[in-house]
Structures are given as structure tokens and as C-alpha cells.
Amino acid sequence: MSAMQRLHETELRRMRRRAAAVPVISTIIGSAFVLLPVVASVPLLPPVGLLMLLGWRLLRPELWPAWIGLPLGLADDLLSGRPLGTAMVLWTAILLAIDAAEDRMSWRGWWEEWLFAGVACGVATLGSWAVARFMGGAGALRMTAPTLVAAILLFPLAQRVCAKLDVWRLPQ
């Protein structure tokens, strides 16, 4: 009987661990998309890590505290080779802003979530451009447009992926 209980305990612990780890790992995998062996002469790839972060945040508001942007942003900075701190600051600021905006809204549907994500992607793109400029190596701002458009268009897909992963990580 106690052996059964112990088995049940370990099983439960493993499931809890998986429930906590899946969102974090999937976001880091999103950040790792920059490792794709594509040599682009213009920026083309949308910020997949940010899209996953937004997908999880809007799907499960209670999942993460706002400071989760710090470690996940650090991972994104390290993988993408941007100056350390870029995504840390931008992602955490975005999460705080979403918290603040949510408090003031009485209604939130699919379109509103897409709007949130679009504004957040715009802020992140502009912010990382500003940091690159501060470092002395930014091109024209219009060069960021393709990644921004791609990010906004791909957000619903990231939402789908997050929802699928959510069903898998929390089995009934």
C-alpha cells in the first residue's frame, strides 16, 4: 500500500516538474531558432523566443511572475549574441506592461491578445534596434520591418503551439 503511495508521489512530482519546465524550455528553444544555419544579409527571422514568451504569458497569466523575463531574456541574449541585458530589459518591461494593461482591461479576447503581442513585438524590435545603435552598429530602422511583420503574422501560430504544449504538459 505504502509502495503504491510512494509510486504515486514520484509520479505526481514528475508531472509537476514537467508542468513547470515545458513553458521555460519551449521558450528557450524558440530563442535557439537563431542558431539555424542561415546566413542572411538582412534580418529576416522573427524573434521566436519572444513570441513563445508572449504566447505562454497570454495563455496562462498565472504561470510566471514578471521577473521570468530576466532569466529567459538572458538566455535569449546569450544565444543571439546581442549585448547582454537587451532582451532581459525588454522582455521584463513587456511583461510588466502586460500586467499593468490587464489590470485596466475588463475584456480580453483573441484580437486583444494579438494587439498586445503586436505592440510588444514592436517595442522589442525598436528597443533592440536602439541598443544596436547605442553600440554603434545599427543599420536603417526600416531594415527591422520584415522581422516585425513576420513576428506579428506568426503570433497566432505561436499561440497554437503554446496551447498544444499546454494540453500535453497538464494531462487530465
Partner 1 sequence: MAPPSNRRPGFSRRAQYGLFIGYVVAVAGIVVGLGLILVARFDPPGFALLRAGVLDLTAPISAAGRSGVRSLGDVFDGIGDYLDAGTQNGVLRAELVATRQQLVQAQIDSAENRRLRRLTRLIERSPERVASTRILGSTASDIRRMATIGAGRSDGVRPGMPVRSSEGVVGRVYEAGQLASRVMLLTDGGSVVPVRRLRDGAPALAAGRGDGMVELRPLSAGANPFQPGDIAVTSGIGGVFPPNVPVALVTERREDVAIARPLADPARLDFVIVERPFAPPPPANQASRAEPTLAQ
Binding site for partner 1 (CB under 8 A): 32-48, 61-62, 65-67, 69-70, 73, 78-86, 88-89, 92-93, 95-96, 99, 102-103, 105-109, 128-129, 131-132, 134-140, 143-144, 147
- The CB-of-88 to partner 1 minimum distance in angstroms stands at 4
Q: Is 50 exposed, middle or buried (0-12, 13-18, 19+ CB in 10 A)?
A: buried
- The CB-of-15 to partner 1 minimum distance in angstroms stands at 20
Using the structure block, give the residue that is written with the C-alpha cell 503504491: 4
- What nine digits make up the cell of 156? 497566432
- The CB-of-10 to partner 1 minimum distance in angstroms stands at 27
Task: CB nearer to partner 1: give 123 or 132.
Answer: 132
Alpha carbons 25 and 76: distance in angstroms, whole number: 12
Task: CB nearer to partner 1: give 12 or 139.
Answer: 139
Q: Name the residue among 172, 147, 169, 171 with its Cα closest to residue 27.
A: 169
Task: CB nearer to partner 1: give 4 or 35.
Answer: 35
- What nine digits make up the cell of 49? 523566443
- The CB-of-8 to partner 1 minimum distance in angstroms stands at 27
Task: CB nearer to partner 1: give 136 or 171.
Answer: 136
Instruction: Residue count of the chain, please give it.
Output: 172
- The CB-of-7 to partner 1 minimum distance in angstroms stands at 31
Q: Name the residue among 52, 47, 45, 46 with its Cα closest to residue 68.
A: 52
Cβ(170)–Cβ(63) below 8 Å = no
Task: CB nearer to partner 1: give 4 or 103.
Answer: 103
Q: How many CB atoms lie within 10 A of CB 115?
A: 14
